């Protein structure tokens, strides 16, 4: 228990030291300027000092007090409102055309808008970009990149196929990775984090706070996946991932869902050619990918040592469109002239 507490203490120190340094620097600048003015006042008659300078000093003091009260009220650390200091989280989301597509993307957007320094890479499984997704992203208020990459017909699921029969989103995730490689081709050590977020999952804002300081590969539990309530890494007393709690093939090298990990951008780009494989055995996409990047001992358990859930593998119910089909047969379309 003592070693575990020591690990938690070290983890918290690593997580907050940068922000403590920034805070100390700001306080030093502020009080340094204040003492400088005070020192001058002691040797110079007050009447000779600019009233405007003094007004600015007292205005800054009021602003500092106000900012401190706001931070305390909402428990917001500096890293959550100062985007310039943050590593960018690059979220790669494969998507495809279906009646509920915009609803799924809207749910993600509503979360991402609360996450600072986030770049959303949306990759359509299509021969070209759709106008609907283009319009959606342009009006989203998010920094984004819109790509497209078709999946060959022989690799697409049929309506009668179970969802696990063939891998989904593989080529789209790879398109996102290749875009990142191109963007940072001349940057030897880019700062950032890469996360693969499917459009039908449910994400908590806290998840992105957790992954922000990923050094190599960070991991956490995923709920409602693999036939169990929670699929998660098990963390030993040394703070390292020791094994996996999963309902299906817990002996996989990395027995977790795609939503259960994030990768340091520099690590991913420095490992030349690392992508997802369309030929990976069923259920082994994550393992085949991560084995090229890291060992189990190097994983960074997040979410209070993998004891909290911040992402759920949800699926939207297929809409019942029997009446729509009936109307279509007589030339009527309820979505005519409207984007849903």
CB atoms near residue 111 (< 10 Å): 17
94 is in an annotated binding site: yes
pLDDT at 30 over 60: no
Q: Has 173 been labeled as part of a binding site?
A: yes
pLDDT tens-digit series, residues 262-318: 999 999 999 989 999 999 998 999 999 999 999 999 999 999 999 999 999 998 888
* pLDDT of 339: 85
Residue 35: per-residue pLDDT: 46
Question: How many alpha carbons lie under 13 Å from residue 156 in its C-beta half-sphere?
Answer: 10
168 annotated ligand-binding residue: yes
Within 10 angstroms of residue 73's Cβ, the number of other Cβ atoms is 8
- Residue % of the chain over a pLDDT of 90: 62
Lowest-confidence region among 40-44, 65-69, 186-190: 40-44
Q: Is 51 annotated as a binding residue?
A: no
Structure tokens at 266: 């520099």
**Annotated binding-site residue? 198:** yes
pLDDT for position 32: 57
pLDDT of residue 34: 47
pLDDT: which is higher, 153 or 10: 153
Which of 57-66, 113-122, 208-217 shows the lowest mean pLDDT across its residues?
57-66
Helices (H), 163-284: 170-183, 205-211, 265-270
DSSP tag of 85: G
14 versus 281: which is more confidently predicted? 281
- Cite the active site residues: 286
Under 8 Å between Cβ of 261 and 272: no
Q: How far is the C-alpha of 197 from the C-alpha of 311, rounded, in Å?
A: 10
Mean predicted confidence (pLDDT) in 12-22? 58
Is it the case that residue 5 has pLDDT exceeding 80? no
Query: What pLDDT, on the 0 to 100 scale, is given for residue 233?
Result: 98
224-277: pLDDT as tens digits: 999 999 999 999 999 999 999 999 999 999 999 999 999 999 999 999 899 999
Q: Is 105 exposed, middle or buried, given 0-12, 13-18 or 19+ CB atoms closer than 10 A?
A: buried
CA 162, 106, 202, 122 torsion: positive or negative?
positive
Q: Is 181 annotated as a binding residue?
A: no
Model confidence at 53, pLDDT cuts 50, 70, 90, reads: confident
Which region among 14-23, 90-99, 143-152 has the lowest average model confidence (pLDDT)?
14-23
């Amino acid at each position: 228990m003592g070693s575990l507490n020591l690990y938690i203490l070290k983890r918290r120190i690593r997580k907050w030291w940068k922000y403590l340094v920034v805070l100390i620097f700001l306080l030093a600048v502020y009080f340094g300027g204040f003492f400088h003015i005070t020192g001058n006042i002691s040797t110079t008659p007050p009447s000779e000092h600019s009233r405007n300078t003094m007004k600015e000093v007292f205005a800054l003091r009021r602003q500092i007090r106000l900012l401190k009260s706001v931070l305390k009220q909402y428990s917001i650390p500096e890293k959550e409102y100062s985007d310039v200091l943050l590593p960018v989280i690059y979220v790669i989301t494969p998507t495809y055309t279906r009646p509920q597509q915009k609803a799924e993307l809207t749910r993600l957007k509503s979360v991402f808008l609360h996450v600072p320094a986030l770049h959303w890479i949306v990759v359509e499984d299509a021969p070209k970009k759709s106008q609907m997704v283009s319009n959606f992203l342009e009006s989203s208020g998010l920094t984004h990149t819109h790509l497209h990459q078709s999946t060959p017909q022989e690799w697409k699921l049929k309506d009668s196929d179970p969802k696990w029969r063939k891998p989904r989103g593989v080529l789209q995730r790879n398109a996102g990775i290749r875009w990142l490689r191109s963007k940072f081709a001349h940057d030897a050590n880019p700062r950032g984090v890469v996360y693969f977020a499917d459009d039908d999952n449910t994400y908590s804002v806290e998840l992105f706070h957790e992954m922000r300081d990923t050094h190599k590969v960070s991991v956490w539990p995923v709920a409602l996946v693999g036939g169990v309530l929670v699929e998660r890494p098990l963390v030993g007393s040394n703070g390292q991932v020791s094994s996996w709690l999963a309902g299906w093939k817990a002996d996989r090298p990395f027995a977790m869902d795609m939503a259960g990990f994030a990768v340091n951008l520099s690590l991913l780009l420095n490992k030349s050619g690392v992508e997802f494989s369309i030929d990976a055995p069923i259920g082994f996409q994550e393992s085949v990918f991560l084995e090229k990047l890291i060992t189990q001992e190097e994983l960074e358990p997040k979410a209070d040592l993998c004891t909290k859930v911040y992402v759920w593998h949800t699926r939207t119910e297929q809409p019942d469109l029997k009446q729509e089909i009936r109307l279509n047969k007589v030339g009527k379309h309820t979505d005519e002239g409207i984007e849903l």
